[in-house]
Amino acid sequence: MRKLLAAVFALTLLAVPFTSHAQVSLGLRLGYAPALGDAAKDAKMSDGVKSQIPIQLDAGYKLTPKLSLGGYASYGFGQSGDEFDAYCDGADCSTRVVRVGVQGLYTFDAIGRLQPFAGVGAGYEWGSLTAEAGGQEATLSYRGFELLNLTAGADYAVSPQFAIGPYLGFSVGRYSNVSMDLGAEEISGEIDDQAMHEWLQLGIRGRFDL
């Protein structure tokens, strides 16, 4: 009996890597996302960051052939808004948006080689505006929860393991904290008059099933 249990245990250990290997899916997205809503009450998102070019990595574990659960991490290269640009005369200015979270993706029945999908998730977001001049740097940062993240698209199967296609995304977030880093001094606190902001994404996604 002990030998039988040991054999079953050994076979299980050998089988797990292959099972997990077949059920992991990775995705890479590149898009364009204009900013909507407010960073805080009476403070439009587009005044500081009017849009971003997000690069997002998706990782999911397939619970079923159609349903996967996993996470995402996104780094967005921001385009400065007009109000922020007004303070950047003679300074080197940049903006960025970082988002991380969990998401579930559902793949619908394929239409030929086209595989429609839809997903929902939630996470956390950081946004920052940085100005540098004369060897000095100042950074204004916001952070808060990404309350809802919706995505949909269609992957074209190039091979059994690789697919590529367009996607559309819409996320809703609310910044709760703000900080100002002046190098030698940092000031931070909660945002009293919080507001909702959104990102509308359009781009292309590549998916690779391991």
Going by the DSSP 8-state scheme, the letter that residue 182 receives in this structure is: -
Residue 3 confidence (pLDDT): 53
Span 18-70, pLDDT tens digits: 444 449 999 999 999 999 999 999 999 999 999 999 999 999 999 999 999 99
The whole-angstrom separation of Cα 67 and Cα 91 is 48
- The CA distances from residue 33 to 47, 83, 114, 134, 169, in Å, are 15, 19, 24, 32, 9
Which spans in the chain are helix H? 2-22, 45-48, 82-85
Residue 4 confidence (pLDDT): 44
The whole-angstrom separation of Cα 33 and Cα 97 is 11
Mean model confidence pLDDT for the chain? 90
Q: How far is CA 82 from the centre of its chain?
A: 25
Residue 135 confidence (pLDDT): 82
- pTM (predicted TM-score): 0.85
**What architecture is domain 24-209?**
Beta Barrel (2.40)
Kindly state the average pLDDT of the residues 141-153.
98
Neighbours of 133 (CB within 10 A): 13
Please state the domain extents for the chain: 24-209
Residue 86 confidence (pLDDT): 85
The whole-angstrom separation of Cα 160 and Cα 188 is 50
* Number of residues that make up the chain: 210
Residue 19 confidence (pLDDT): 43
Q: Spell out the residues 6+ positions from residue 79 whose beta carbon is closer than 8 angstroms to its own.
A: 49, 50, 51, 52, 53, 95
Kindly state the average pLDDT of the residues 146-161.
97
Span 77-88, pLDDT tens digits: 999 998 898 888
Task: Write out the E strands in the chain.
Answer: 24-40, 43-44, 49-62, 67-80, 92-107, 114-133, 136-157, 162-181, 186-190, 196-209
Span 175-198, pLDDT tens digits: 999 999 987 788 999 999 999 999
Least Cα distance to 205 among 159, 165, 157 occurs for 165
Is 9 a residue whose pLDDT tops 50?
Answer: no
Neighbours of 13 (CB within 10 A): 9
